[in-house]
Amino acid sequence: MPPVGALAAELIGMTQAVEPEPLDQCVERLARLTGDRCKAKNAARKLQTFTESIDEAALAAEAEVFKAMSDPFRLAILSRYRLSEGAVIEMMNLAGLMVDG
């Protein structure tokens, strides 16, 4: 009995002979890596669907949040409150800010 990969390749060859379909470079690369053109096509379709579903505006908004959180002062505050709770006045005192009243 021939290996499963050989049977799959033969079936794919028969399918391509019936309906020729231009193969994307991504599919070609994946097919070479996996040895299975059908799996490569499915993976390429999933990847394309995933990339089309990405919301660029949401990513930009999330990037802004991460930029803000990368500020050393803000990271110090987060570190402090990760250890235990505290009041806002404590945070201000730690930051060296004066509080009236």
Q: What pLDDT is recorded for position 70?
A: 85
pLDDT, greater one: 84 or 100? 84
Where in the sequence is the domain holding 90, given as residue range(s)? 56-95
Residue 59 C-alpha from the chain's centroid: 11
| Co-location of 43 and 26 in the same domain | yes
Q: Is residue 89 part of a domain?
A: yes
Structural element, H or E, at residue 96: none
Q: What pLDDT is recorded for position 54?
A: 86
Q: Which two tokens stand for residue 16?
A: 């391509």
| Co-location of 11 and 44 in the same domain | yes
Q: Could you report the per-residue pLDDT of 5-60, keeping only the tens digit for each? A: 555 555 555 544 444 344 478 888 888 888 988 888 888 888 888 888 888 899 89
Distance (Å, rounded) from C-alpha 45 to C-alpha 43? 5
Q: Could you report the per-residue pLDDT of 69-80, keeping only the tens digit for each? A: 888 888 877 887
Q: Is residue 67 part of a domain?
A: yes
Residue 20 is given by DSSP the state: -
| Co-location of 8 and 42 in the same domain | yes
| Co-location of 41 and 63 in the same domain | no
| Co-location of 63 and 47 in the same domain | no
Q: Is residue 100 part of a domain?
A: no
Q: Which two tokens stand for residue 13?
A: 């060859």
Q: Which two tokens stand for residue 3?
A: 């290996």
